[in-house]
Amino acid sequence: MRWHSWVADTSFLFNLFKSVKFPFMSQLKWRSRRSQCPKGHSQSGCYNSMPSNREDFCLRKALATYRSSLKGLFPLFFLVSFTTVLLIDNVTPAIAQVPRQEIRGVWMTTNDFNTLKDRSKVNNAVSQLRRLNFNTIYPVVWNSGYVMYPSFVAKRAGIQPFVMRGADGHDVLADLIAQAHRQGLLVIPWFEFGFMAPPTSELALNHPDWLTQQRDGSQTSISAAGEVAWLNPFNPKVQQFITNLVMEIVTQYDVDGIQFDDHMSLPREFGYDKYTIALYTKETHNKPPGNPEEPAWMRWRANKITTFMVQLNQAIKARKPQAIVSVSPNYYDFAYKFQLQDWLTWVQLNIVDEIIMQVYRSNLQSFSENISRPEIQQTQKMIPTGVGIMAGLRNSPVPIQQIQSQVRIAQQHGLGVAFFYYESLWDYASEPVAERQAAFASLFSSPSLRARVDVSRDY
């Protein structure tokens, strides 16, 4: 806890002391002045001399008055101590310590690569976002089993047959970071796929022992990205691989943080691979139950993922203490019950520095209900919190009126926002580009730059 969060509230106590009239003070002040006569001067030369017996009498009287006054002040001292204890005990450190940084972000996906690979287009994009008072960019760096930057880790693992570079052969991530920072925007790279990978990717094909499976032996599930396999989050080799990728970004680039989303998890049907079965049996002396929804079995797997996230946070902070560890999950009930992602515990463990909950709803009532959930109210008291808003897809544009309404509702709840995704802000819409941009300008009427400061919480 930082003491200044409560000292200001007790300033009235100091004013109280200053206003109290102590009857012995005038006599003690006289004694003090007398003892401070300049060297070489007699005391009688500084103040009128007093007979020694008179001087001793005054001192004895002052001391007696002092003891009597102290007795009378004991109730006051007790009141001060008791009040201070109450103030300390009733501090809400998260509210007092966390800067109120409003998130105004946008994701840049693989669909935005035509922009990312062109320096001039990046310059235009960043300048436009700055004019519209955005403050954070979340560019994808891990998607479909591949990285979006030159990676020694991916090359060593044998999963990257190509290198993602810009039109003139440049590093697109380094270019975006440099241009965004010149405009005062944060860049927080986004590990979009987490433990998820297509079954046809080099990652899945070259490292089959890294994959987990369902009870019936199937290794894939259907997601918004199509058919996907799942890396085993309990396997130390998988954990080390993900950690190496993250640390490569943190070490080699001037990033402001790292973001994980709802795929830094595992569907509850998975975890029946040989490695996980052996580990669970060793630790619990029981085989995994046939029902993947059995509470203890779910809790064990969720806790394992949480333990890994704690270790990953420690590695990130050890290398770059100022890095923002961001998470963009689904609402908690869904995240835990279906994906074993106990992100609320992550927040409580202080291993997450911001939350952006995905709320891709077209119905305003459903949207409002989701952002009013208890976990959001709890989280926003502790760390910067926002909601993910769908700005549109190539084949499914979102009207600007819907976007405006959702942003206003989020702002009324004291929440920031992040839009999915950059090109859909105005390129896929039915409204003219100028009209869309004017609408976004009205949403953020003044700048809200996020300072690049240490966001660690020391309470």
DSSP state of 209: G
Residue pLDDT, tens place only, 2-13:
333 333 333 333
Q: Kindly give, in sequence order, each residue whose CB lies less than 8 Å from that of residue 165, ignoring residues fewer than 6 positions away.
A: 117, 150, 171, 172
Q: Lowest-confidence range among 21-25, 392-396, 399-403?
A: 21-25
pLDDT tens-digit series, residues 124-179: 999 999 999 999 999 999 999 999 999 999 999 999 999 999 999 999 999 999 99
Percentage of the chain modeled with pLDDT above 70? 76
- Residues 6+ positions from 223 with CB-CB distance below 8 Å: 196
> So what's the pLDDT on residue 230?
98
The mean predicted confidence, pLDDT, of the chain is 83
Residue spans of the domains in the chain: they are 4-91, 101-443
Please determine, for residue 31, whether its predicted confidence score (pLDDT) is greater than 80: no
Start-to-end CA distance of the chain, whole Å, equals 4
Q: What is the band of 430 on the pLDDT scale with cuts at 50, 70, 90?
A: confident
Q: How confident is the model at residue 201 (pLDDT cuts 50, 70, 90)?
A: very high
Burial of 94 (C-beta count, 10 Å sphere; 0-12/13-18/19+): middle
Q: Which CATH superfamily is domain 101-443 in?
A: Glycosidases (3.20.20.80)
Confirm if 391 and 403 have CB atoms less than 8 A apart. yes
